Structure 1
């Protein structure tokens, strides 16, 4: 018999290993947060340079909940399959966020989270083209549900539950550091790279394109591959892949769950490459982490009742007033931040300067760095990312630092702080990373 009574920082046995906490036995237990900072139960402060995996773009802001409550306090719940003024207002605002950028009118579906949103996007694509092959990049991550685990690159996501009947084709990685076609000292993609992502659809590839009965129904991409190691596809490469997919009749789906709402500078990450998708899935920054909600925009007429039949999608909680109120409160803040794109560009410059300093000071451990607006990667010379991430929590006696790493890119530290992070916070981040890298270097010498 085990007990759930634990000392500070120790995870109780009742916490499932595969649920929330799975990387360490001892973890901080947070009790307060504000701005870019969190405070643990033992009083230790932490700077969040991960923004709750990119979700808390506006920082930890409790006033969002107060404003959200004002929107839904007279109607805390709603019967299933019933409409509300709150939902209709939110849908109209969300639709404009997409159509203003794409130049095309569309329709909005709501769902609970990123994986559910991606599944809804595939339903829309399949209703237009019929169920068929889905093309993604190597390094993709689109969720851990039965369907989205098939799209995500790591085989680990398919070990326990997967939609095995779904045919998925993976284009070569868009990460120039891992690309088999890369040419040393040459910036950007080679003709071989472009050819490799535009070959499918021919008799030789085994993948059906236009004119084939069994063909590709959808091409899905991320403007920046977060879980794949903070990889931004070369813009020319992505444009070529999108154009080829469209020529072959595939619905082009942009996964903006991580990169949406100014994470990379513009409102949507796909704007950086100059592409226009048919369907966009957004989630994280729409509620700033305070509620589960995703929005799926599909250009007309993809989600029209004539092709996407009523009843094709439904969920008990997509009309819940609390989540809708949170989204409205968050959108109010985004509307007031009229200089977001410019300000995130400035943040990117400041991140690049500090990461460049770390790269110069620790050339034996840091091989490269890259910045995309408010998102960045620190590429290490070996698979040290998990160890460095743990060191950042304890290396500095004054404050802990939260950064990210993934099993798909064990040599990359992911950095994407709240977009409202201050210069002082960035200095603190750099100091903690510097300390942690020094400790990592000493440890490597000892072993």
Structure 2
């Protein structure tokens, strides 16, 4: 469009607060295929963040084309109306959860991750009454008025927040920053377990089952993406879940990012062997082709007696296009028979390549980790925003898209489409090597 070029300031007709404009260089993408995007100036970018973890199956236009064919006879549906397509999708989604957890449940739909989290809280409050919500430090559960209260960074609450919601934060599950690390020989597990299981008493400030206002919900991420790709210690997470359930709280797993094999198993909570009461997922369901989230609640939390008709409504969650996209994507997941072993191979490929980069750039890389189709580079300082910029610009022919968050400015998150090939991982490593070299050269040296 006239007056808009790559690398220009925020266009005069665009809201400047959008996360798109956090960088000086803002490519305008016009097409995509596989793990690559192409900007309107012809530059190609390898997407190593999979549209923030959404495009697990890569940029595949045939998904939308097939979905469109599935809903040609019903392109729209009035609000509050049922359809065989919606019922079929609900039934398929329910099996994704109950097959793993071994217990039946019910599925509610919403538009996106934050909306799904709010629906999960509605279900929990319907069961327990409104009360305290317990989360971890370092958590990210959305930017809406409600979910910004659950998310760790105060930045998310500066403009809009539901101040009446009482939220209590347990100590961070990030072992690399844990204050108990030096005092224990078992990875700070003993001290941390005590720290996350002492609430629910007169002294803790959080009511347990014997109080009128108790903790209604405990919400956790199996891997804290925005918090710096933190994988909680399994023993710590199991203890926190068991304590929450003993206190009468509904246990909610936020699988918006980790769901559908992003971290290896179908659901991230399988890594620690915990069994939530409610699961919220979104990104892995539509491959970026539609706005939709799913909330599964074990019986009887979402039946008519606990969660009566009228407890939830959203204008667009029943539109055939979104449902057809999910139906099509679920076909792709069901057809990927070797997904567990393929994601395990991806984890090893990421780990091997990043370990090599750490050896080649010891002055700027402190450590690397990989879990399933996710990895992180922990830098020697708060250099992630600059490294993210260099990844997009340092290579003469290829840009690389990686993730960096304000909550973890020393961490680069890497989570490419799960279909990325070894050759594409080598290209990713090539760009990272160049960008890290530039970053090292920019740092002051003694």
- Partners of 1:211 and 1:384 lie apart in 2 by 48
Contact 1:347–1:374 (CA under 8 A) maintained in structure 2: yes
State the Cα distance separating 1:183 from its structure 2 match. 2.5
Change (3 A) 1:365 1:8: closer
- Is 1:126 aligned to residue 125 of structure 2? yes
Contact 2:47–2:402 (CA under 8 A) maintained in structure 1: yes
Change (3 A) 1:364 1:185: farther
- Partners of 2:186 and 2:47 lie apart in 1 by 32
- What are the within-5 Å matches in structure 2 for residues 110-189 of structure 1? 110-183=109-182, 186=185, 188-189=187-188
State the Cα RMSD in Å. 1.4
User: Could you say which residue in structure 1 is the equivalent of 2:63?
Assistant: 64
- Partners of 1:187 and 1:245 lie apart in 2 by 23
Contact 2:184–2:191 (CA under 8 A) maintained in structure 1: no
Give 3-state SS (helix, strand or coil) of 2:264's partner.
coil
- What are the within-5 Å matches in structure 2 for residues 81-92 of structure 1? 81-92=80-91
- Partners of 2:184 and 2:347 lie apart in 1 by 24
Contact 1:189–1:237 (CA under 8 A) maintained in structure 2: no
- Partners of 1:433 and 1:299 lie apart in 2 by 44
User: Could you say which residue in structure 1 is the equivalent of 2:97?
Assistant: 98
State the Cα distance separating 1:70 from its structure 2 match. 1.3
- Is 1:289 aligned to residue 279 of structure 2? no
Give 3-state SS (helix, strand or coil) of 1:22's partner.
helix
- Partners of 1:261 and 1:39 lie apart in 2 by 26
- Partners of 1:267 and 1:399 lie apart in 2 by 32
Contact 1:4–1:14 (CA under 8 A) maintained in structure 2: no
- What are the within-5 Å matches in structure 2 for residues 33-72 of structure 1? 33-72=32-71
User: Could you say which residue in structure 2 is the equivalent of 1:378?
Assistant: 377
State the Cα distance separating 1:189 from its structure 2 match. 3.4
Change (3 A) 1:418 1:186: farther
Deviations 1:143-197 (A, max 9, x none): 0000000000000000010000000000000001111111389563331111000
State the Cα distance separating 1:426 from its structure 2 match. 0.4
Give 3-state SS (helix, strand or coil) of 2:22's partner.
coil
- Partners of 1:261 and 1:65 lie apart in 2 by 19
- Partners of 1:6 and 1:286 lie apart in 2 by 33
User: Which TM-score applies when normalising by structure 2?
Assistant: 0.98
- Partners of 1:144 and 1:400 lie apart in 2 by 29
- What are the within-5 Å matches in structure 2 for residues 43-442 of structure 1? 43-183=42-182, 186=185, 188-442=187-441
State the Cα distance separating 1:51 from its structure 2 match. 0.1
State the Cα distance separating 1:13 from its structure 2 match. 2.2
- Gap runs ≥5 in structure 2: none
Deviations 1:53-78 (A, max 9, x none): 00000000000011101111110000
State the Cα distance separating 1:24 from its structure 2 match. 2.0
The size of the alignment, in residue pairs, is 445
Contact 1:172–1:197 (CA under 8 A) maintained in structure 2: yes
- Partners of 1:150 and 1:218 lie apart in 2 by 14
Give 3-state SS (helix, strand or coil) of 1:183's partner.
helix
Contact 2:218–2:252 (CA under 8 A) maintained in structure 1: yes
State the Cα distance separating 1:4 from its structure 2 match. 6.2
User: Could you say which residue in structure 2 is the equivalent of 1:7?
Assistant: 5
User: Which TM-score applies when normalising by structure 1?
Assistant: 0.98
- Partners of 2:232 and 2:185 lie apart in 1 by 15
- Partners of 1:137 and 1:47 lie apart in 2 by 33
State the Cα distance separating 1:214 from its structure 2 match. 1.5
Change (3 A) 1:204 1:159: same
State the Cα distance separating 1:300 from its structure 2 match. 0.2
Give 3-state SS (helix, strand or coil) of 1:192's partner.
helix
- Partners of 1:429 and 1:25 lie apart in 2 by 22
Contact 2:219–2:254 (CA under 8 A) maintained in structure 1: yes
- Partners of 2:62 and 2:436 lie apart in 1 by 37
Give 3-state SS (helix, strand or coil) of 1:109's partner.
strand
- Partners of 1:49 and 1:418 lie apart in 2 by 7
- Partners of 2:434 and 2:165 lie apart in 1 by 46
Deviations 1:185-210 (A, max 9, x none): 95633311110000101211111112
State the Cα distance separating 1:418 from its structure 2 match. 0.1
Mean Cα displacement is larger for which, 78-87 or 15-24?
Answer: 15-24
Deviations 1:410-435 (A, max 9, x none): 00000000000000110011111111
- What are the within-5 Å matches in structure 2 for residues 12-27 of structure 1? 12-27=11-26
Deviations 1:271-304 (A, max 9, x none): 0100000000000010000100000000000000
Deviations 1:70-112 (A, max 9, x none): 1111100001111111000000000000000000100000000
Give 3-state SS (helix, strand or coil) of 1:445's partner.
coil
